[in-house]
Amino acid sequence: MMAEMPVLSWPFSRAATAEIDWDDVYCTELPRVLNYFRYRVGQAETAEDLTSTTFEKAWRARAKYRPERASVATWLLTIARHVAIDYYRARRVDVALDDVAEPARQAALDDDIQRGLDRRRLASLIAALPERERELLALKYGAEETNRAIARLTGLSESNVGTILSRTVATLRSRWEAGGQS
Amino acid sequence: MTDKFLSDLREPARPAFVEALKQRLDAIEYEQAERGVTRPLWLRLRPAFAGVAALAAVAVALSVPTVRASARSLLEIFRVKRFAAVPVDMSRLERLHNQELDLKTLISDNLQVLKDPGAPLAVADVAAAAGKVGFEIAQLAELPQDCALSEVRVTGQGSFKATLDTDRIEQLASALGVTGVEIPRQLNGASVAIQTSPTVMLRYTRGKDDFRLFQALSPQVALPEGIDVRQLGTIGLQLAGMSAEEAQLFASKVDWRTTLLVPVPAMGGDFRDVAVGDAQGLLVTVRPQRRAGGDAQRPMPRWHSVLLWSKGERLFALQGPGSGMELLEMANEIG
């Protein structure tokens, strides 16, 4: 009868799977994961593809999620980080500065050209950063994680995360204000 | 030093992307549900237990005092007319999960899907769904403000047979830490046959709120002649976490041939009998708990409820956010 559809799997399944509201998880965490990838890889389309990969992996592994080990947000970001690593490993290239800078020279023909250009320029500046700094920026500004959470995710100390981020932001800011991508 | 400029890359997700990915995730969910991967443990037992819910079915699986020939005469037919909540000790299920014990295997190695209901299929509208399931589909006579029917799905008829294994059942009781329960040896080899009707799901959406109305005909569960259903129920209730005395008291108050037992988490779940028109329904509410280590900045998870009732030959389940008051109002609008 109804068991063929998730009649009793919701809300009861939440209790059986650590009372997780997966629909709510999707709504809440999708923007964070998507923006993590926007900072991480730059291109919007790629960010969407990697976000899809992350959620599909997560959904297939939901039964293995253990809330006592990490919050669901942390769990998802951990999967996202592995997806990002796999992505770069498969490509065996880093996003070169010119790869991202090129579109900036092709004026976007949308209603908000300046904002679009700024966004592309920022993406190119971030793409030029070393791997570790880019990862921390993606977690901080894309996923909007706290320094403490980032420390847990990356294995760095919280103070180290703060120091690296502060230095990275200063570097980006100076490059941003200089109007170029050195 | 301001880092405001660094927020420029943040953007909301495109609605088309959000919807497309959600559909893929739903497909994964359905696929896994079919394979029994993501369902709660009691629903993983679904083929054997369809129609009487897990506990009743566990009970059914546990005791046939005098099984003469396993499937010789299937005389006892169940029809669900009412619902009763059973508080379940979730730590027991968690214990099974941690030990990677599979309840289905523990209870029966011989679970046959005679007719697979198939995955829920999206259909164009209610009329199309009615054509597939073969019964009239009830709908909300009046929708709440800003609420609209957004999805219709159907599943087919199902037919299952489980053959019981008492050694496995004892293993289950042991794994659950239940002592003092005698599993009749005569049960070994008994068959339980279950037939489930097609089911329809109507999904109503209002912004982020999601209401789902399920309806189906009563399942039929056929048991071998001579079965002591009450004894079965008592054992099943003990497995769910009740003491022997509590289980006996509960079992004495239940009409085991017409009552669908609904497992409710003992912690974090709430339930009560309610009136839905002329029928008695069961309203279950669960508030997901914020876990230790979770982000305290995030809003508390919302209440979610499910309302179960029967009307004539049909069973209904309406689930949605909130403590259930709105569900009750909606249920009374279902014609």
- B100: contact with A, CB 8 A cutoff: no
Confidence of residue A160 (pLDDT cuts 50, 70, 90): very high
Confidence of residue B331 (pLDDT cuts 50, 70, 90): very high
Note whether B18 contacts A15, CB cutoff 8 Å.
Answer: no
List Cα–Cα distances, B85 to A100, B53, B260, B322, in angstroms. 59, 11, 9, 19
Confidence of residue A107 (pLDDT cuts 50, 70, 90): very low
What pLDDT was estimated at residue B301?
61
Q: Which residue has tokens 């549900």? A: B33
Query: Which tens digits make up the pLDDT trace of A51-72?
Result: 999 999 999 888 778 776 778 8
- A152: contact with B, CB 8 A cutoff: no
- Taking CA–CA distances from A42, the nearest residue in chain B reads B9
Smallest CA-to-CA distance from A16 within B187, B62, B313, B263 is with B263
Which residues in chain B have Cβ-Cβ distances shorter than 8 Å to A126? 9
pLDDT greater than 90 at residue B126: yes
A positions 99-128 inside 8 Å of B (CB): 115, 118-119, 122-123, 126
* Torsion from C-alpha of B330, B332, B333, B335, nearest 10 degrees: 130
Q: Express as a percent the part of chain A with pLDDT over 70.
A: 71
Report the amino acid identity of residue B70.
S
Note whether A1 contacts B306, CB cutoff 8 Å.
Answer: no
Q: Which residue has tokens 């909300």? A: B140
Question: What is the average pLDDT across B285-294?
Answer: 58
Pairing, β B82-88 against β B259-265: parallel
Query: Largest Cα–Cα distance of chain A, in whole Å?
Result: 67
What pLDDT was estimated at residue A47?
92
Mean pLDDT over the full length of chain B: 72
Could you give the angle at the alpha carbon of B55 between the alpha carbons of B52 and B59, nearest 5°? 90
Q: What's the CA gap between A59 and B313, in Å, rounded?
A: 36
Which residues in chain A have Cβ-Cβ distances shorter than 8 Å to B37? 63
**ipTM value greater than 0.85:** no
pLDDT greater than 60 at residue B101: no
Query: Which tens digits make up the pLDDT trace of B228-261?
Result: 777 777 777 777 777 778 888 888 888 877 887 7
A65-69, A91-95, B23-27: which has the minimum mean pLDDT? A91-95
Which residues in chain B have Cβ-Cβ distances shorter than 8 Å to A14? 286, 288, 304
Query: Which tens digits make up the pLDDT trace of B50-100?
Result: 333 333 333 333 322 222 222 223 334 456 778 888 777 666 666 665 555
What pLDDT was estimated at residue B323?
83
The strand ranges marked E within chain B are: 74-78, 82-88, 110-115, 121-122, 148-155, 158-163, 191-196, 199-206, 209-217, 220-224, 259-265, 269-276, 279-286, 304-311, 314-321
Task: Provide the 10 A C-beta neighbour count for residue B295.
Answer: 16
Q: String of b and e for B74-95 (b: at least 16 CB within 10 Å)? A: eebebbbbbbbbbbbbbebbee
Smallest CA-to-CA distance from B308 within B121, B79, B143, B80 is with B80
What pLDDT was estimated at residue A32?
92
Q: String of b and e for A81-101 (b: at least 16 CB within 10 Å)? A: bebbeebeeeeeeebeeeebb
Write the residue in A28, A62, A141 that is nearest to B38 by C-beta. A62
pLDDT greater than 50 at residue A11: no
- Contact present, B76 and B17 (Cβ < 8 Å): no
Q: What's the CA gap between A50 and A142, in Å, rounded?
A: 14
How many Å lie between the alpha carbon of A158 and the closest alpha carbon of chain B? 17
A144-148, B33-37, B109-113: which has the minimum mean pLDDT? B33-37
Comparing A80 with A101, the larger pLDDT belongs to A80
What pLDDT was estimated at residue B5?
74
Query: Which tens digits make up the pLDDT trace of B158-180?
Result: 888 877 777 777 777 777 777 77
What pLDDT was estimated at residue B34?
53
How many Å lie between the alpha carbon of A92 and the closest alpha carbon of chain B? 24
A positions 75-104 inside 8 Å of B (CB): none
Element (H, E) at B64: none
In SS3 terms, B145-156 reads as: CCCEEEEEEEEC
How many Å lie between the alpha carbon of B145 and the closest alpha carbon of chain A? 22
Note whether A21 contacts B302, CB cutoff 8 Å.
Answer: yes
- A12: contact with B, CB 8 A cutoff: yes
Comparing B192 with B157, the larger pLDDT belongs to B157
CA-based R_g, chain A, Å: 19
Angle between the N-to-C axes of helices A72-91 and A44-60, in degrees from 0 to 180, rounded to the nearest 10: 120
Q: What are phi and psi of B44, to 5 degrees?
A: -65, -20
Note whether A68 contacts B291, CB cutoff 8 Å.
Answer: yes
What pLDDT was estimated at residue A51?
95
Q: Which of B25, B97, B135, B285 to mutate to test the interface with A (most CBs of A within 10 A)?
A: B25
